[in-house]
């Protein structure tokens, strides 16, 4: 394992990282940090969201910057205000033990005077959105003649948001001999153009690693009719005690509507999207960070750069158009040593998207059943009973008055009393959830969505030890013209070998075809086997399985019922 120290960072920075609990550099950090420390070249670094890019550019700059509190030596440009604030906060943490370093955020939506004053007091690093930075340059408040390092963070996003002209103007003001670092999740054509235009002799690093937390995220989906999306969301939320997360929507309007409906149903939510004024956005983000609001209903753009570390759930009310955005979204949970759950609500027509996403993330999705009405109220009562069991003392009941009540109720036998008490307390919830429809949609049948029986199993002589994973297996199969699109059942990747289910009629052919293929230059040996594919049930590339899948959400008491308020719904107010 490489350490941050071996990468060449000084002891003050090391102490800061220690406090943050950063032990091992992420792959993009391991590559970018020594490069920025030593090389005279510019750098293009491509890595997904959540891979630790902020530290990758900040740490080596902090290691070299002259922290005099006066000379502006670095400018970091980022697409959104939220992200700029986040980068500033990260830099302050990294440089906690260097009191002389100053970093200043500038962004639109806040009074420019405040920012002008902050700049006049002097700073070493400016982090800002391109529009506002350009504005401050025009006003001659911000001068970039002493800049040594320029960072374009989330360059792809900045260009998508139409900041090209501002970037042109800003970069024109920086000295020729500056170094430019471009960080981006993707290398789009416009990013390549920016690189061509502004970077000299740049090296490129690209890390295909997953999000730092991606290993700890489990992916689930629910399948409902298009009209039942919202109702399903409610039931799913009711079923998740202590949910703290983001509900992603595709458009501003959708986010607004979902939020309004959630509020109307008494859930604790706020909307975050482009139509909301900056000032409110900041306030909402702040309350969300403090967990005063537990659900944020957001669009992709608005959620960019939100860095809340302990989201329990990311919920896709609607899938994003681009698969890549799914990774961005779900990268917001499972961070920082915690595990997270990504939930997606789809309609039967969207099953193919789930199969595609499985390939993109290299992990399987679990199909879950939307709880039935009865499940919902039983779960809520169950949570309450657990609270009663664990609550040791009665609070706030005047002793004498309490005795009187006990006296009065003593005529009713204990069993009756419990029944009355529970039905009284939950009558509304029971009423709301009784006789409600089962929201689970049928799988789409028909030729295109044939279900994989997976009743024959094929074994190949490559497994985890050889670097094979689900994504790799699909890659392998799709690399063959004759196998492309073939459906696969349960997959069991073992250290030495992999076993997966296929349709009986095709098994012979698939075996034959696989034996013609190579994996990483070595011949594949495929056989038909009786061995079990193991406990993990995979849904089939296109079909959406049923078989051994867990059909119900886990019942019973949740350990997470830490709250002490016998609230109706934990995620509700």
Contact at 8 Å (CB) between 164 and 193?
A: no
- The candidate with the shortest Cα–Cα distance to 73, out of 86, 60, 56, is 60
Report which residue's Cβ sits closest to Mg ion.
Answer: 53
Kindly tell me which of 24 and 391 has the beta carbon lying closer to ligand ADP. 24
Nearest distance from residue 80's CB to ligand ADP, in Å? 12
Closest CA to 36 of 16, 52, 59: 59
Helix residue ranges per DSSP H, 265-350: 278-289, 300-303, 323-330
Q: Which is nearer to Mg ion, 53 or 511 (CB)?
A: 53
390 binds, among Mg ion, ligand ADP, none (CB under 5 to 8 A by kind): none
The number of helix segments (H) and strand segments (E) in the chain equals 20, 20
Q: How far is the CB of 2 from ligand ADP (least distance, A)?
A: 11
DSSP state of 511: H
Residue 52 CB, nearest approach to Mg ion (Å) = 8
Least Cβ distance, residue 553 to ligand ADP (angstroms): 29
Beta strand 295-298 pairing with 269-272: parallel
Q: How far is the CB of 3 from ligand ADP (least distance, A)?
A: 10
> At its nearest, how many Å lie between ligand ADP and the CB of residue 32?
11
Task: Select 128 or 454, whichever has its Cβ closest to Mg ion.
Answer: 128
Nearer to ligand ADP, 51 or 330 (CB): 51
Q: Is 53 in the site for Mg ion (CB under 5 A)?
A: yes
φ, ψ at 563 (rounded to 5°): -60, 160
Q: Nearest distance from residue 108's CB to ligand ADP, in Å?
A: 21
- What three-state secondary structure class fits 39? coil
Q: What is the DSSP string of 146-204?
A: T--EEEEETHHHHHHTT-HHHHHHHHHTS-TT-EEEEEES---HHHHHHHHHH-SSEEE
Element (H, E) at 75: strand 74-77
Closer to Mg ion by Cβ: residue 53 or 542: 53
SS3 breakdown of the chain: % helix, strand, coil, rounded to 5? Answer: 40, 15, 40
Nearer to ligand ADP, 322 or 551 (CB): 322
Decide whether 24 or 286 has the Cβ nearer to ligand ADP: 24
Residue 284 beta carbon to ligand ADP: minimum distance, rounded to whole angstroms: 20
Q: What letter would DSSP give residue 457?
A: E
92 vs 522, which CB is nearer to Mg ion?
A: 92
Nearer to ligand ADP, 93 or 461 (CB): 93
The least CB distance from residue 47 to ligand ADP, in Å, is 6
Using the rule CB under 5 A, give the single segment among 35-43, 48-56, 274-282, 363-371 that binds Mg ion. Answer: 48-56
Of 245, 202, 234, the closest CA to residue 35 belongs to 202
Q: Interacting stretch for Mg ion, rule CB under 5 A, among 51-59, 247-255, 260-268, 514-522?
A: 51-59
Binding site for ligand ADP (CB under 6 A): 22, 24-26, 29, 47, 49-55, 212, 307, 309, 335-336
Q: Determine if residue 8 is left, alpha or beta; phi over 0 gives left, psi from -120 to 50 gives alpha, anything else beta.
A: left
Which of the listed partners (ligand ADP, Mg ion, none) does 50 bind, with a CB threshold of 5 to 8 Å by partner kind?
ligand ADP
How many residues bind Mg ion (CB under 5 A)? The answer is 1
Q: Which is nearer to ligand ADP, 86 or 383 (CB)?
A: 86
Residue 320's binding partner out of Mg ion, ligand ADP, none, with CB under 5 to 8 Å set by partner kind: none
Pick from Mg ion, ligand ADP, none: which does 212 bind, CB < 5 to 8 A by kind? ligand ADP
| Residue in this structure with the two tokens 């005795």, named with its chain if needed | 403
With beta carbons less than 8 A apart as the criterion, state whether 346 and 221 touch.
yes
Query: Residue 65's closest CA among 6, 13, 125, 14?
Result: 125
Residues of span 113-172 touching Mg ion by CB under 5 A: none
Question: Among 494, 486, 476, which Cα is nearest to 452's?
Answer: 486
Q: Does 81 bind Mg ion (CB under 5 A)?
A: no
Q: How many residues does the chain have?
A: 573
Closest separation in Å from C-beta 305 to ligand ADP: 8
Residues at the site binding Mg ion, with contacts judged by CB under 5 A: 53
């Amino acid at each position: 394992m490489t350490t941050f120290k071996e990468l060449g960072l000084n002891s003050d920075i090391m102490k800061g990282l220690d406090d943050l609990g950063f032990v091992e550099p992420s792959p993009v950090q391991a590559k970018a940090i020594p490069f920025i420390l030593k090389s005279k070249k510019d750098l293009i670094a491509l890595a997904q969201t959540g891979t630790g890019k902020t530290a990758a550019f900040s740490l080596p700059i902090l290691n070299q910057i002259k922290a005099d509190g006066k000379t502006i030596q670095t400018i970091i440009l980022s697409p959104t205000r939220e992200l700029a604030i986040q980068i500033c906060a990260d830099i302050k943490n990294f440089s906690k033990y260097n009191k002389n370093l100053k970093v200043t955020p500038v962004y639109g939506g806040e009074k420019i005077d405040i920012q002008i004053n902050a700049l006049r007091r002097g700073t070493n690093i400016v982090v800002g959105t391109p529009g506002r930075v350009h504005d401050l340059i025009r006003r001659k408040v911000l001068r970039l003649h002493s800049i040594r390092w320029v960072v374009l963070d989330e360059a792809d996003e900045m260009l998508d948001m139409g900041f090209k002209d501002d970037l042109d103007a800003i970069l024109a003001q920086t000295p020729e001999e500056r170094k430019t670092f471009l960080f981006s999740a993707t290398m789009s054509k416009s990013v390549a153009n920016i690189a061509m235009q502004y970077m000299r002799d740049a090296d490129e690093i690209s890390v295909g690693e997953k999000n730092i937390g991606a290993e700890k995220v489990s992916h689930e989906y629910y399948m409902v009719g298009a009209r039942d999306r919202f109702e399903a969301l409610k039931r799913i939320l009711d079923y998740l005690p202590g949910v703290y997360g983001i509900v992603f929507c595709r458009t501003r309007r959708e986010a607004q509507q979902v939020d309004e409906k959630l509020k109307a149903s008494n859930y604790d939510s706020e909307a975050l999207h482009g139509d909301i004024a900056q000032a409110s956005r900041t306030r909402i983000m702040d309350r969300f960070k403090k967990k005063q609001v537990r659900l944020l209903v957001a669009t992709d753009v608005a959620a960019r750069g939100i860095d809340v570390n302990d989201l329990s759930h990311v919920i896709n009310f609607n899938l994003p158009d681009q698969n890549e955005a799914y990774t961005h979204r779900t990268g917001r949970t499972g961070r920082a040593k915690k595990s997270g759950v990504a939930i997606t609500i789809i309609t039967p027509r969207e099953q193919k998207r789930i199969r595609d996403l499985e390939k993109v993330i290299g992990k399987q999705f679990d199909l879950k059943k939307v709880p039935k009405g009865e499940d919902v109220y039983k779960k809520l009562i169950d949570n309450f009973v657990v609270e009663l069991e664990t609550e040791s003392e009665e609070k706030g009941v005047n002793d004498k008055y309490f005795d009187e009540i006990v006296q009065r109720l003593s005529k009713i036998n204990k069993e009756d009393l419990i029944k009355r008490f529970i039905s009284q307390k939950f009558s509304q919830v029971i009423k709301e959830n009784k006789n409600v429809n089962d929201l689970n949609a049928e799988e789409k049948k028909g030729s295109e969505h044939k279900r994989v029986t997976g009743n024959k199993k094929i074994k190949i002589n490559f497994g985890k030890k050889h670097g094979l994973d689900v994504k790799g297996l699909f890659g392998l199969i799709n690399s063959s013209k004759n196998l492309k699109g073939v459906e696969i059942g349960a997959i069991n990747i073992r250290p030495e070998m992999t076993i997966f289910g296929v349709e009986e009629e095709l098994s012979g052919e698939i075996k034959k075809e696989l034996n013609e293929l190579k994996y990483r230059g070595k011949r594949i040996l495929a056989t038909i086997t009786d061995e079990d594919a193991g406990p993990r049930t995979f849904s089939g590339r296109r079909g959406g399985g049923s078989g051994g899948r867990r059909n119900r959400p886990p019942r019973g008491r949740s350990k997470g019922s830490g709250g002490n308020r016998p609230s109706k719904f934990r995620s509700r107010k």
